[in-house]
Amino acid sequence: MTDESPTDLLEGPSEMGTFDSEGHYTPRQIVADDFEDLDLDAAYDATMVTVEDGQLVEGKVVKIDRDEVLLDIGYKSEGVIPARELSIRNDVDPNEVVDLGQSLEALVLTKEDKDGRLVLSKKRAQYERAWGDIEKVKAEEGVVTGPVIEVVKGGLILDIGLRGFLPASLVELRRVRDLQPYVGQTLEAKIIELDKNRNNVVLSRRAWLEETQREQREDFLENLAPGEVRKGVVSSVVNFGAFVDLGGMDGLVHVSELSWKHVDHPGSVVAVGDEIEVQVLEVDHSRERISLSLKATQQDPWQEFAGNHQVGELVYGRVTKLVPFGSFVQVGDGIEGLVHISEMSAHHVDLPEQVVTPGEELWVKIIDLDLQRRRISLSIKQAAEGGVVAAEYQEHFGEHAYDDEGNYIGTGTDYTEEAWADYFPDGEAKPDGEAGAPADPNVETPPADTADAGPEAAVETAAPEVAVEAAAPEAADPAEA
């Protein structure tokens, strides 16, 4: 304890004044000499913070305008944050980013621009802080999380404190066509590329999904066996095939496995969202890939054709293509056979077009059927000699369609309507003599260019003398029989 009383402490002179015995203060009169050694500018500057370009500063939002925000950082003037420097998002409303009175951090872009203003950036301060965190996550092979803020060419932009680019091919385990639904969603992703100099951050959500679902995928693959038939949903269609979601993983149906017919583009067979049944062809555990087949679950048209036909039968077909060595004729759904040039006529033929034209419909005889190689050899020449009509045509051209003398009587009064209507693509029968109509079974019809081709080109292209066993109708016109 001190022996001095409170009044003792108050008494005596003071630089600013004196206290009497009762504690009353009397200020000292200020004179000009008191300012003799005082620099007002220095004193004012002493109260201000110092800033340098690139420095991080903190301040309080004192004003929000449509195109800028004013931030008081204790400098001689408020700092200006242009709207474009508020957020990594484009075209934002400042009122949606900051609030009046809010404290925030900014980076000094310039101490004094051409208008004498202190220019700051909130997003670059955020970038500087975030970059350190991103580098740490990358080093630890961790995961970043952020909302999708934009769809750009080739992918998505995530807000992870800075703009992270997520390529479209790395959004899911399979490629996604429509990225718009992801906007606003918060996604997790791995960092696969980092370049601060180029301000480049590339992300992969697929890598994160593969990591988190590895055990689940392994179990799925273990329970999947070649030859097994599974139901799935078409998840995407690409030029080389279609991906099918089997309920745990996607498998690929190559374009060659989509149909027994030739497929120009997978989109002509399946569409996204289609529920289909597929057969598992192969399971690659090391590469985690599944090969599927759609056509394996469908009736093989070649098997069906071979089961319903035999060598020596007459079938009706349409010429699809001419080649130097003959012509191809479609005789079933997706089934084409070759008529070699030597089997086109009993006469010598130099060019297939001397006998047939693409689109022409005619009778041909099966002279060879190789199911293993999926090849059929046909003959126009032998068909003209007659033979047994294939079963599917016997309803109109079978034994009951002929009288005892072998004359065609049909199943009705109109030869064309009854016998041929079902065999034309447009469902309309064509009268004799029109393109595509069946020729009179007993009338030889030379090709249109016979006059110019010479006598050897006058080949027989008439329809065969069809019968169940080998009967040869002799009526000049079946419609008159």
Domain spanning 39-138: which superfamily?
Nucleic acid-binding proteins (2.40.50.140)
Residue by residue, what is the 3-state secondary structure of 67-128?
A: CEEEEECCCCCCEEEEHHHCCCCCCCCHHHHCCCCCEEEEEEEECCCCCCCEEEEHHHHHHH
399 confidence band (pLDDT: 50, 70, 90): low
Rounded to 10°, the helix 214-222/205-212 angle is: 60
- Specify the long-range contacts of residues 5-8, CB closer than 8 Å, at least 24 apart: none
CATH architecture of 227-297: Beta Barrel (2.40)
Round to whole Å and give the CA distance between 107 and 153: 30
Query: Is pLDDT of 115 > 70?
Result: yes
Strand pairing category for 241-245 and 326-332: unpaired
Model confidence at 123, pLDDT cuts 50, 70, 90, reads confident
Per-residue pLDDT of 79-93, as tens digits, reads 888 888 888 777 778
The pLDDT tens digits of the residues spanning 162-175 come to: 889 999 999 987 77
Task: Judge whether 141-211 and 227-297 match in fold.
Answer: yes
Say whether pTM exceeds 0.75.
Answer: no
302-480 to CATH, choices 2.40.50.140, 2.120.10.30, 1.10.10.350, 1.10.10.10 = 2.40.50.140
Boundaries of every domain in the chain: 6-38, 39-138, 141-211, 227-297, 302-480
Pairing of strands 466-467, 387-389: parallel
Domain 141-211: assigned CATH number: 2.40.50.140
